[in-house]
Amino acid sequence: MVYKDSLTGEGPPRKAWRDWIFQHASLIRLWFTLSGAELIILALGQLLGESNDVLDVTKSVIVILLTAPVFYFTIRWYEVKVWSVCLAVLCILFGAEMLEMLVRLSLGGNIYWAESGMDLLLTLLLVGPLMVWIASDIRRREFTERQLSYLAYYDPLTGLPNRQMFQQSLTMAIHSANQSRRKLAVMFIDLDRFKNVNDTFGHAFGDQLLVEAADRLKSGLGTSDVVSRQGGDEFTVLVKDAEQPEDAEKVANQILQLLSQPFTIEGHELRVGCSIGIAMYPQDGEDSITLMKNADTAMYRAKEYGKNGCQFYRAEMNDTVIQKLVMEEWLNKAIELEEFVLYYQPQVDIFTGKMNGMEALLRWKHPRLGFISPGEFIPLAEETGQIIPIGEWVLREACRQNKAWQEAGYAPLKMAVNISPIQFHQHNFVQIVLNALEESGLDAQYLELEITEGIAMYHVDQVIEKLRTLRAHGLHISMDDFGTGFSSLSYLKKFPITKLKIAQQFVRDIPEDPDDAAIVQAIMAMALSLKLNVIAEGVETDAQLSFLLDIKCREIQGYIFSRPVPPSDFEALLKQNED
Decide if pLDDT at 27 tops 90: no
Quickly state the pLDDT bin for 48 (edges 50, 70, 90).
Answer: low
Q: What percent of the chain has a predicted confidence (pLDDT) above 70? A: 74
Distance CA 343, CA 358 (A): 10
Angle at 324 between CA 323 and CA 326, to 5 degrees: 65
Cis geometry, peptide bond prior to residue 282 (ω within 30 degrees of 0) = yes
- Identify whether residues 457 and 362 lie together within a single domain: yes
- Identify whether residues 353 and 481 lie together within a single domain: yes
- Identify whether residues 282 and 188 lie together within a single domain: yes
Q: Is residue 464 part of a domain?
A: yes
DSSP states of 345-357: EEEEETTTTEEEE
Decide if pLDDT at 559 tops 70: yes
Q: Is residue 243 part of a domain?
A: yes
Distance CA 442, CA 473 (A): 12
Tell me the β-bridge partners of 265.
268
Query: Which of 254 and 152 is assigned the larger pLDDT?
Result: 254
At what angle are helices 460-472 and 429-440 packed, to 10 degrees? 20
- Identify whether residues 101 and 170 lie together within a single domain: no
Give the burial string for 334-354 (b: 16+ CB within 10 Å, else e).
beeeebbebbbbbbbebeeee
Distance CA 333, CA 326 (A): 11
Mean pLDDT, rounded, for 442-457? 87
At what angle are helices 317-334 and 374-384 packed, to 10 degrees? 80
- pLDDT score of 74: 66
- Identify whether residues 272 and 348 lie together within a single domain: no
- Identify whether residues 85 and 219 lie together within a single domain: no
Cβ–Cβ < 8 Å for 391, 420: yes
Distance CA 225, CA 254 (A): 13
Decide if pLDDT at 486 tops 60: no
Number of domains in the chain: 3
Decide if pLDDT at 504 tops 90: no
Distance CA 92, CA 63 (A): 7
- Identify whether residues 133 and 199 lie together within a single domain: no
Report the predicted TM-score, pTM, of the whole model to 2 decimal places.
Answer: 0.55
Q: Is residue 199 part of a domain?
A: yes
Q: Is residue 368 part of a domain?
A: yes
Quickly state the pLDDT bin for 489 (edges 50, 70, 90).
Answer: low
Burial grade of 522 (CB within 10 A; 0-12, 13-18, 19 or more): exposed
- pLDDT score of 94: 66
Count the alpha carbons within 13 Å of 525 in the hemisphere toward its beta carbon. Answer: 6
Query: Which of 93 and 454 is assigned the larger pLDDT?
Result: 454
- pLDDT score of 279: 93
Mean pLDDT, rounded, for 448-471? 85
Burial grade of 127 (CB within 10 A; 0-12, 13-18, 19 or more): buried
Decide if pLDDT at 9 tops 50: no
Decide if pLDDT at 142 tops 90: no
Q: Is residue 123 part of a domain?
A: yes
CB atoms within 10 A of CB 542: 10
Sign, CA torsion 385/390/392/394: negative
Distance CA 361, CA 558 (A): 13
Distance CA 77, CA 384 (A): 49
At what angle are helices 25-47 and 54-75 packed, to 10 degrees? 150
Residue type (1 letter), 292: M
- Identify whether residues 395 and 301 lie together within a single domain: no
Decide if pLDDT at 114 tops 60: no
Backbone angles phi, psi at 228, to 5 degrees: -145, 160
Tens-place pLDDT, residues 392-435: 999 999 999 999 999 999 999 999 999 998 899 898 999 999 99
Decide if pLDDT at 359 tops 50: yes
Cβ–Cβ < 8 Å for 228, 163: yes
DSSP states of 229-257: EEETTEEEEEES--SSHHHHHHHHHHHHH
Q: Which domain holds residue 78?
A: 12-153
- pLDDT score of 301: 84
Residue type (1 letter), 555: E
CATH number, domain of 527, equals 3.20.20.450
CB atoms within 10 A of CB 150: 13
- pLDDT score of 408: 94
Residues 6+ apart with CB under 8 A from 487: 453, 454, 456, 457
- Identify whether residues 246 and 338 lie together within a single domain: no
Decide if pLDDT at 518 tops 60: yes
Distance CA 484, CA 506 (A): 9
Q: Is residue 3 part of a domain?
A: no
- Residue 74 vs residues 34, 65, 79, 82: alpha-carbon distances, Å: 17, 15, 9, 9
Q: Mean pLDDT check: name the lowest of 63-72, 223-232, 333-342, 461-470.
A: 63-72
* Mean pLDDT computed over every residue of the chain: 82
Cβ–Cβ < 8 Å for 243, 180: no
CA 101 to chain centre: 69
Last residue in a domain, options 315, 350, 367: 315
Last residue in a domain, options 282, 315, 348: 315
Strands (E), 490-564: 499-502, 533-537, 555-557
Distance CA 520, CA 507 (A): 7
CATH number, domain of 255, equals 3.30.70.270
- Identify whether residues 179 and 304 lie together within a single domain: yes
Mean pLDDT, rounded, for 94-112? 63
Tens-place pLDDT, residues 200-231: 778 888 899 999 999 999 888 888 889 999 88
CB atoms within 10 A of CB 186: 32
- Identify whether residues 147 and 197 lie together within a single domain: no
Q: Is residue 348 part of a domain?
A: yes
- pLDDT score of 119: 63
User: 3-class SS at 136?
Assistant: helix
- Identify whether residues 132 and 182 lie together within a single domain: no
Tens-place pLDDT, residues 123-138: 666 666 666 677 677 7
Tens-place pLDDT, residues 154-168: 888 998 999 889 999
Mean pLDDT, rounded, for 100-118? 60
Distance CA 449, CA 395 (A): 9
Quickly state the pLDDT bin for 8 (edges 50, 70, 90).
Answer: very low
Last residue in a domain, options 257, 292, 315: 315
Mean pLDDT, rounded, for 326-342? 86
Decide if pLDDT at 44 tops 70: no
